Amino acid sequence: MDSPLKKKDTRTSEDMYHDAPLFAEFGAPFVTKPKAATDKTPKTGKKKPPTTGKSPRKKAAKPGRSASQPRAPKPVNKEALLLSVADMCALLGVSRATLIRMDNGGKLPGRIKLGGSVKYHRETVETWLKEMIVKSDT
């Protein structure tokens, strides 16, 4: 039993060509040709250097410092009320991972959380460092 809502398609292939848009081809379907590989970049128009499979050259170390020497920590601002994590690392001479481990263990005083960042109260940290110095009897 045919539904009255479904209409039988009575169009022929010739009728379908009349309904096709003007830019459609009647023959084979539209096929794009692959673009030829070019050595030019679209922005500058300069040719790319040929790739040889080698890795890029590494920069040579500066004459004044060998590659194995660590960089000197940046100086800590003596007037700042709060110390950043980087300042604390420089002050204590430890890595960031060690500082975080000490902080999670509750070994660092003066921790202040401001929004999403952590700062340390300078005076509290300096007092803590002075208390850690063992006075020797001479």
Token representation of residue 17: 């060509």
Q: What is the pLDDT of residues 40-87, one digit of tens each?
A: 555 666 666 666 666 666 666 566 655 566 565 555 666 778 999 999
Q: Indicate the DSSP class of residue 6.
A: S
Q: In the Cβ-directed half-sphere of 135, how many Cα atoms lie within 13 Å?
A: 3
Distance CA 108, CA 118 (A): 12
Alpha helices in the chain (DSSP H): 13-19, 85-92, 96-104, 122-132
Q: What is the pLDDT of residues 74-108, one digit of tens each?
A: 556 667 789 999 999 999 999 999 999 999 999 99
99 and 90 Cβ atoms separated by less than 8 Å: no
Phi-psi region of 45 (alpha: psi -120 to 50; beta: other; left: phi over 0): left
Indicate the pTM of the whole model: 0.43
